[in-house]
């Protein structure tokens, strides 16, 4: 049967029933792609598979949770969904609200949203509220908005979001026929690492896989509250998607780390941008900077000798590179001034 979205595919693991009218854009079923050239480039002797969440309908993993969240909001008779966002949640909420026939309002840190994400929220028709503050300020405001009548919060503090996002772990196990030994994932508001760990545990409990992965989460060094064990008042990183100083799912992420025997570490902006360019150049995969934190983490864990030969690794690539064209262009030194429209001038550039 054709793919019908994550709710239909994993219905028995999700909080829905026969009467539920599903709001979906047929999210999920994203590729799990091996990247041997990247592994060679870093001298690894493990297998690495990347979960390309960029190939969801709005270009990020958020769609998995948003199908559940908007389905629930619609069922409950909400009129407007609200979220704080570093960009992707707002894009996804806006799209799924349009699909559900509801209004979306998104509270965003002014000047810190990648261009493509802003374009998405606009074109899907969300009411955009830029604030002179960061994501953490925006989320505090949204928590208060949740008390208003007819309003449903669709940040990952809404448990339906986590329920939907756990389906990525199911898909990885289905594709591999087993659980990975290690799972690498970026950590921002910490909902996704929480969701994956829940998914892996539920599949294990259901007897679908015999083992559990160690969860290796990665924050940006300038926005690493869990690593530093303190709230970061002014988080800063090139990976704007994970520019968060006080994650909502902090304790759940720590539990995922500790229960799985894993790690939550940090990677610098330099390490993130190196991984960002390497995966594009070696394997033809263009992700946004926050997603490259997963891969910077693989490089770092490998350098530390933490990844035994023959291990099976998976890493989540959370969002599409096209969402943030400014960063791609700014890290590239290959954009040249125009030349004369002659064969010799063109050949000179190609050969040079």
Distance of closest approach, residue 43 Cβ to ligand F0G, in angstroms: 26
Q: Which of 27, 63, 283, 288 binds ligand F0G (CB under 6 A)?
A: 288
| C-beta of residue 324 within 8 angstroms of C-beta of residue 294 | no
Distance of closest approach, residue 152 Cβ to ligand F0G, in angstroms: 16
Q: How many CB atoms lie within 10 A of CB 344?
A: 8
| C-beta of residue 183 within 8 angstroms of C-beta of residue 314 | yes
Q: Under 8 Å CB-to-CB from 120, ≥6 apart: which residues?
A: 58, 59, 90, 91, 94, 95, 323
Distance of CA 8 to the CA centre of its chain: 22
Which residue, 80 or 208, has its beta carbon nearer to ligand F0G?
Answer: 80
Q: Which of 16, 113, 187, 292 binds ligand F0G (CB under 6 A)?
A: 187
Beta strands in the chain (DSSP E): 32-34, 47-52, 80-84, 103-109, 127-131, 151-153, 182-186, 214-220, 263-267, 312-317
Q: Which of 28, 44, 57, 87 binds ligand F0G (CB under 6 A)?
A: 87
The closest alpha carbon to 59, from 304, 276, 305, 319, belongs to 319
Q: Which of 44, 116, 180, 186 binds ligand F0G (CB under 6 A)?
A: 186
Q: Which residues, 230 to 249, sit near ligand F0G by CB under 6 A?
A: 241-242
Which residue, 262 or 319, has its beta carbon nearer to ligand F0G?
Answer: 319
Distance CA 29, CA 7 (A): 11
- Among 3-11, 20-28, 81-89, 303-311, the segment contacting ligand F0G (CB under 6 A): 81-89
Question: Helix 191-205 vs helix 250-260: angle between axes, to the nearest 10 degrees?
Answer: 40
Determine, following the binding rule CB under 6 A, whether residue 60 of this chain makes contact with ligand F0G: yes
Contact pattern for ligand F0G over residues 136 through 175, marking x by CB under 6 A: --------------------x-------------------
Determine, following the binding rule CB under 6 A, whether residue 294 of this chain makes contact with ligand F0G: no
Which residue, 72 or 317, has its beta carbon nearer to ligand F0G?
Answer: 317
Give the footprint of ligand F0G on this chain (CB under 6 A).
60, 85-89, 156, 186-192, 241-242, 288, 290-291, 318-319
């Amino acid at each position: 049967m054709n793919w019908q979205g994550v709710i239909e595919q994993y219905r028995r693991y999700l909080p829905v029933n026969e009467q539920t009218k599903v709001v979906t854009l047929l999210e999920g079923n994203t590729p799990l792609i091996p990247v041997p050239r990247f592994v060679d480039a870093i001298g690894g002797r493990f297998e690495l598979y990347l979960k390309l969440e960029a190939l969801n309908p709005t270009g990020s993993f958020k769609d998995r949770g948003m199908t559940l969240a908007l389905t629930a909001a619609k069922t409950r008779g909400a009129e407007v969904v609200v979220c704080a966002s570093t960009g992707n949640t707002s894009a996804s909420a806006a799209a799924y609200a349009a699909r559900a026939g509801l209004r979306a309002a998104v509270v965003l840190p002014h000047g810190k949203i990648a261009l493509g994400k802003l374009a998405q929220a606009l074109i899907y028709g969300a009411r955009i509220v830029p604030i002179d503050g960061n994501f953490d300020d925006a989320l505090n405001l949204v928590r208060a908005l949740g008390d208003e009548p007819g309003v449903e919060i669709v940040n990952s503090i809404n448990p339906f979001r986590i329920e939907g996002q756990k389906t990525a772990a199911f898909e990885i196990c289905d594709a591999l026929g087993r659980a990975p030994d290690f799972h690498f994932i970026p950590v921002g508001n910490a909902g996704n690492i929480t969701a994956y760990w829940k998914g892996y545990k539920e599949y294990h409990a259901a007897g679908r896989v015999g083992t559990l992965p160690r969860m290796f989460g990665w924050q940006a060094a300038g926005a690493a509250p869990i690593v530093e064990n303190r709230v970061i008042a002014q988080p800063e990183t090139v990976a704007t998607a994970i520019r968060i100083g006080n994650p909502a799912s902090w304790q759940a992420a720590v539990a995922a780390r500790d229960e799985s025997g894993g790690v939550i570490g940090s990677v610098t902006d330099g390490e993130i941008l190196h991984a960002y360019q390497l995966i594009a150049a070696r394997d033809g995969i263009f992700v946004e900077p926050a997603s490259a934190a997963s891969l910077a983490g693989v490089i770092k864990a490998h350098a530390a000798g933490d990844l035994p030969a023959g291990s099976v690794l998976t890493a989540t690539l959370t969002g599409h590179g096209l969402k943030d064209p400014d960063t791609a262009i700014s890290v590239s030194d290959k954009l040249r001034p125009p030349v004369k429209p002659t064969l010799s001038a063109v050949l000179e550039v190609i050969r040079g």
